[in-house]
Amino acid sequence: MTAQLYIAPPAAGKTQFAIERLRGVLKVSPLATTWVIVPDRLQAAAFRQRLSDAGGTIGAHVGTFGDLYKEILERAGNPVPVTSDPTIYFLIRSVVEDLHQQGRLPYYSSIRNTPGFINVLKEHFAEFKRALIWPEELVTQTLEGEPGLAELAQIYLAYQQKLQSIDWADQEGLSWLAVEALEAQPDLLNTWRLVIVDGFDDFNRTQRRALRLLADRIPEVIITLPGAPEMMRPVHSRFKHAFDDLIAEIYPEIHYLDSSPHLPAPLSILENEVFEKGTPPKVQNERIFLLEVKSPAEEVREALRWIKARIQRWHISPDDCAIFVPKAEIYSAYLKEAAAEFGLPLRITWGEPLVQSPAIAALLGLLKLPIQDYPQRLTLETIRSPYFDLSEFGLTQKDADLLELVSIKWQVVAGLEQWVSAFEGLTLTSPTPQNNAQSGQDKEPYQPSLPGGDSAAHLEVAFRTLVDRLKVTDPKLLNGWISWLEDLLDEIDYIQRCEPEVLEALRDILRALVLNETVSGSQVNDYQQFINSLQSAIEGSVYNLTDTLTQASILAARMIEGRGIRFKAVAILGLSEGIFPEIERPDPFIDEPNRLRLGLDSRIGRHQSSLFYQAITRADEALLLTRPYLAEGGEPWEPSYYWNEVKKLFPEACVRIKSDAPRSLHQACSRQEALFWAVRQGAVPQTDKKLIAQAEYVEYARQILQDRLGEKSKSRYEGNLSELSSEFSDLYGPEHVWSASRLESYGNCPHQFFAANVLNLEAKEPPELGFDASQLGTMLHTILEEVYQYAEDPNDLETVLAALPGIAYKKFASAPEEYGFRPNILWEEQQEGLIARLEKTVIELAKKSAGWTPFGFELAYGFRDKYAPALEIDTQIGRIKLHGYIDRVDRDANGNLRIIDYKTGSSHLSKGDLINGRRLQLPLYTLATSQSLKLGKPIDGFYWGINSAKAYLYLMKFKHDGEIGPEAAIDLACKHVERIVREIRLAKFPPLPPSGGCPKYCPASTWCWRYEPGFYR
């Protein structure tokens, strides 16, 4: 028999013809077997709907080629199970590993374990099968050729053999078996009456072979194809290609359906004239819209707005609307976000990488805890995860807060040992008193406090229970691991908390793991191997949260998926250069000459204009095209050729939307959008009370933001607490004793002072191995102080250097406990380095000390338990008291004094820092030496950078305002002290980022909007 090929332009009634023919046959022979084959499930659903709308038929099967192949094999008595995607993934991975072990994959050895490579292989094997390229044939053809292609062929052969060894088939392999069954059994399907093939614009070789065999035995095989008698237009190139193949292999009778597209005028003109030369007829256009917007994100918002308007004003069902995108990776996130904001149900055809699902990320984190030995951050994240209920082990999400405090206090970076030693230490202490919220006395937010005693012991038991549950020492078969995992997921309630689609994808992977074990033979895996296999399969899988949507919804699909289905309203996005048409690139695994030689489709010249033509002819009532006009960097983004071609036909349809242009509120698609536009335009409708309340709140926020953006802070939101000045005057009154470093802290940034000293906040730093900058500074200071103190002769360099190592090693031995840090593995080497650094600093300091003898170390003044009284400075706001420690005082033979202040770093030690009021210690210590300690007036002083082994800011040389020497520096420092204390009493705490950036230890850095990152230490 001869197949019948019916050709007509899109929307010219091909599907309608197919439906009528089907109904005609079934009317005469109601029991006849009839099949309709369409490209995918979307089209199958659409065809069934149209069939039902046309009055329905009983007994017609509607499915894909895959469904047909299964039916053929069942009827041939040879049903074959079809492998799932994860199973294929594991099979390919295992054959790749086997070949590698045999030394047969030198070319791909380095990338063999990457999920991307396995996925590329999967796609290529499917392509080979669709093109009827047998593995043995490919091996022979590539034996002498490029090594990469030869290895690809070897993997393909090994994969196919493995699949056959278990009597399974992949989706494409099913087609081979079906074709073989048809060839082997000439009587097969000879009772069928009609097969209709609708919605295709091309056919692969296997499909053509199957159609040929069907046409030989079934009375009527009808194939529809878009196009026209001549097939000469550029938009027909893809259909012409399909047409030529069908003619060459199936020899159909050709018919041209005698009907023109049923589209309204502008859409039919578009169908007829796009990419054509000549003058199109002029018509009134209310059907085609072209929108230029700033970015892909805006494209999505405008497209959804347009569709929402069609749904609400034209009363089109969401099911009758579609958005086509050329690149899902550009638009996917924007679509989900905007559809959720606009309250529009969206069904997306593409899947998301499973590894990006939050539920899967949480699960992998939990499973990796024992492998990574319970690192602080991962442990806390796992306990806080909403996907787990760990109450079975006695842990709640709030326990993560307690564990965080434990880890900071005990410097737990990672390691069970560190956690255990922290718990052991804590059980010996008393708990920190509970705050009011915990005891239920007021409504202050929950503030966790460090556990101790019984509460620490309780926490330890819970933590150990979790650890014991995750501790698996004995290797197992994969089956055993999967049972273990399933039990665990059940215990922690993961199955109830995980999204069903994600859970199903995970179950597929677990099933595939079991099957893979069956195929590859039972093999014992340790825990790490099991987790590696699981993770690798997860990385190669996708999931789709919209698969289970049941309500009427807008379809979001890739351009290729639009063929064959019709909608009332269609939006097509991405018509700018580089997005659509896509830039075509050759296949990196099989080059173009080899693809042609093997009979594979070219990757260059993919008939994109035909795809575009198919997409623009999907709309029955209205069509929207959009494009972004600004690239990410702000430069203009040129329109694509396709855009220009449509614009040529409908120039007046093109509108550019500027995102900051005023818009009518009735176009807003969400409350937040309406509010945003109304506030920006200063026209909140007085009838909408809710909007008015929201606008008032926005105004309140605007004031805050305005303050934030102002050059100078003005309000309480920027530390201006002048309304509390009397409280601050009392708090920091005449009896308050200041330290120079606190005043410097205000001088560096008043808001930092406020956060650290008034609110008593500390920056929460995750614990790290090794000492931090402040611990290092204290260590080095103390060692230097003791070295000069206990050296036989502090004036003699040799004896100072001789004393250094002994004192330093003693200090290093007690430092971790004394300063509270956990040494890292380099601690031994670091000690050597620190001693070398100290030796250098001692040598260099000796060069600056000829004639000077150190005699005072860590001299204290102004502390209750010390002899020397506070330094008192008389100022216009009264007497100000200071206390402090002076690192070192030297004396020369004439009894002159000089001050040395050690500093670990070397930043902010310049003359400018004193002038700006950010570094005050040296002149204040100089004054205290004479006034409080009564040692006499120093004639000099400097900061000594321990790391740099250099002196900074010699007081003797200091010049300012015509004054010179220590007195000038003291005078200036006292003025700063007066200014700073006055401003603190006036409660002025503006955030002023220090030059060089904000320090990472500033406790306000997590909320301060003036934060500036930098290298400041």
Task: Please choose, out of 229-237, 351-359, 908-916, 1003-1011, the segment that lies near ligand SF4 by the rule CB under 6 A.
Answer: 1003-1011
Query: Exactly one of 866, 1011, 1014, 1017 binds ligand SF4 (CB under 6 A); which one?
Result: 1011
> How far apart are the C-alpha atoms of 719 and 1004, rounded to whole Å?
11
Smallest gap from residue 728 Cβ to ligand SF4 (A): 17
Nearer to ligand SF4, 504 or 1012 (CB): 1012
Nearest to 205 by CA among 254, 156, 250: 250
Smallest gap from residue 744 Cβ to ligand SF4 (A): 13
> How far apart are the C-alpha atoms of 205 and 209, rounded to whole Å?
6
> How far apart are the C-alpha atoms of 425 and 154, rounded to whole Å?
60
Query: Exactly one of 178, 897, 972, 998 binds ligand SF4 (CB under 6 A); which one?
Result: 998
Structure tokens at 722: 């002048």
Hunting for tokens 């009896």 — which residue is that?
Answer: 735
Q: Count of alpha carbons within 13 Å of 627, Cβ hemisphere only? A: 24
Judged on CB neighbours under 10 Å (0-12, 13-18, 19+), 579 is buried
Nearer to ligand SF4, 772 or 872 (CB): 772
Cα–Cα distances in angstroms (integers) from residue 989 to residues 10, 137, 753, 1014, in the given order = 71, 80, 8, 21
Q: Which residues contact 670 (CB under 8 A, 6 or more apart)?
A: 341, 342, 343
Task: Please choose, out of 438-446, 450-458, 726-734, 996-1004, the segment that lies near ligand SF4 by the rule CB under 6 A.
Answer: 996-1004
Task: Please choose, out of 397-405, 528-536, 731-739, 1001-1009, the segment that lies near ligand SF4 by the rule CB under 6 A.
Answer: 1001-1009
Nearest to 899 by CA among 966, 950, 800, 971: 966
Task: Please choose, out of 60-68, 616-624, 748-756, 757-765, the segment that lies near ligand SF4 by the rule CB under 6 A.
Answer: 748-756
Beta bridge partners of residue 17, listed in sequence order: none
Beta bridge partners of residue 950, listed in sequence order: 945
Smallest gap from residue 753 Cβ to ligand SF4 (A): 8
Judged on CB neighbours under 10 Å (0-12, 13-18, 19+), 814 is exposed
Smallest gap from residue 997 Cβ to ligand SF4 (A): 8
End-to-end CA distance of the chain: 86
**984 is a contact residue toward ligand SF4 (CB under 6 A):** no
Name the strand (E) or helix (H) holding 881. strand 878-892
> How far apart are the C-alpha atoms of 811 and 833, rounded to whole Å?
14
Nearer to ligand SF4, 301 or 919 (CB): 919
Where in 849-868 is the site for ligand SF4 (CB under 6 A)? none
Q: Are 834 and 808 in contact (CB under 8 A)?
A: yes
Nearer to ligand SF4, 748 or 926 (CB): 748
Nearer to ligand SF4, 639 or 994 (CB): 994
Smallest gap from residue 1015 Cβ to ligand SF4 (A): 13
Nearer to ligand SF4, 89 or 753 (CB): 753
DSSP 234-263: GGGHHHHHHHHHHHHHH-PEEEE-------
Smallest gap from residue 988 Cβ to ligand SF4 (A): 13
Query: Exactly one of 323, 573, 787, 1008 binds ligand SF4 (CB under 6 A); which one?
Result: 1008
- Give the binding-site size for ligand SF4 (rule: CB under 6 A): 13
Task: Please choose, out of 311-319, 531-539, 972-980, 999-1007, the segment that lies near ligand SF4 by the rule CB under 6 A.
Answer: 999-1007
Other C-beta atoms lying within 10 Å of the C-beta of residue 917? 19
Nearer to ligand SF4, 757 or 778 (CB): 757
Where in 550-609 is the site for ligand SF4 (CB under 6 A)? none
Nearer to ligand SF4, 641 or 1001 (CB): 1001
Largest pairwise CA distance in the chain: 128
Look up residue 395 and give its DSSP letter: -
Nearer to ligand SF4, 365 or 1003 (CB): 1003
Structure tokens at 558: 């890739």
Q: Are 158 and 193 in contact (CB under 8 A)?
A: no
Smallest gap from residue 708 Cβ to ligand SF4 (A): 11
Task: Please choose, out of 8-16, 208-216, 940-948, 992-1000, the segment that lies near ligand SF4 by the rule CB under 6 A.
Answer: 992-1000
In the chain, the amino acid numbered 878 is: G
> How far apart are the C-alpha atoms of 962 and 948, rounded to whole Å?
31
Smallest gap from residue 765 Cβ to ligand SF4 (A): 15
Nearer to ligand SF4, 742 or 881 (CB): 742
Query: Exactly one of 1002, 1014, 1015, 1017 binds ligand SF4 (CB under 6 A); which one?
Result: 1002
Smallest gap from residue 775 Cβ to ligand SF4 (A): 21
Q: Taking CA 944 as the corner, what is the angle to CA 943 and CA 948, rounded to the nearest 5 degrees?
A: 130
Hunting for tokens 């929108």 — which residue is that?
Answer: 291
CA dihedral (629, 631, 635, 640) positive or negative: negative
Query: Exactly one of 13, 199, 562, 991 binds ligand SF4 (CB under 6 A); which one?
Result: 991
Smallest gap from residue 995 Cβ to ligand SF4 (A): 11
Q: Are 912 and 739 in contact (CB under 8 A)?
A: no
In the chain, the amino acid numbered 909 is: L
Nearer to ligand SF4, 945 or 993 (CB): 993
Query: Exactly one of 194, 196, 242, 749 binds ligand SF4 (CB under 6 A); which one?
Result: 749
Site string for ligand SF4, 770-809 (x = CB under 6 A): ----------------------------------------
Query: Exactly one of 1004, 1013, 1015, 1017 binds ligand SF4 (CB under 6 A); which one?
Result: 1004
Nearer to ligand SF4, 561 or 718 (CB): 718
Q: Are 582 and 374 in contact (CB under 8 A)?
A: no
Q: Which residues contact 440 (CB under 8 A, 6 or more apart)?
A: none
How long, in residues, is the chain? 1017
616-651 b/e with 16+ CB inside 10 Å = b?
Answer: bbbbbbbbbbbbbbbeeeeeebebbebbebbbebbe
Structure tokens at 536: 């690798």
Hunting for tokens 């922690």 — which residue is that?
Answer: 492
Nearer to ligand SF4, 528 or 706 (CB): 706
Smallest gap from residue 1008 Cβ to ligand SF4 (A): 3
Q: Which ranges constitute the DSSP H helices of 791-881? A: 797-819, 827-847
Smallest gap from residue 759 Cβ to ligand SF4 (A): 11
Task: Please choose, out of 81-89, 465-473, 749-757, 903-911, the segment that lies near ligand SF4 by the rule CB under 6 A.
Answer: 749-757
Query: Exactly one of 752, 782, 921, 932 binds ligand SF4 (CB under 6 A); which one?
Result: 752
Query: Exactly one of 23, 61, 1010, 1017 binds ligand SF4 (CB under 6 A); which one?
Result: 1010
Nearest to 35 by CA among 198, 182, 248, 196: 196
Nearer to ligand SF4, 629 or 746 (CB): 746
Query: Exactly one of 751, 811, 883, 976 binds ligand SF4 (CB under 6 A); which one?
Result: 751
Phi-psi region of 493 (alpha: psi -120 to 50; beta: other; left: phi over 0): left
Q: Taking CA 855 as the corner, what is the angle to CA 802 and CA 908, rounded to the nearest 5 degrees?
A: 85
Nearer to ligand SF4, 564 or 991 (CB): 991
> How far apart are the C-alpha atoms of 290 and 627, rounded to whole Å?
8
Nearer to ligand SF4, 692 or 763 (CB): 763
Where in 131-160 is the site for ligand SF4 (CB under 6 A)? none
Residue ranges in contact with ligand SF4 by CB under 6 A? 749, 751-752, 991, 993-994, 998, 1002, 1004-1005, 1008, 1010-1011
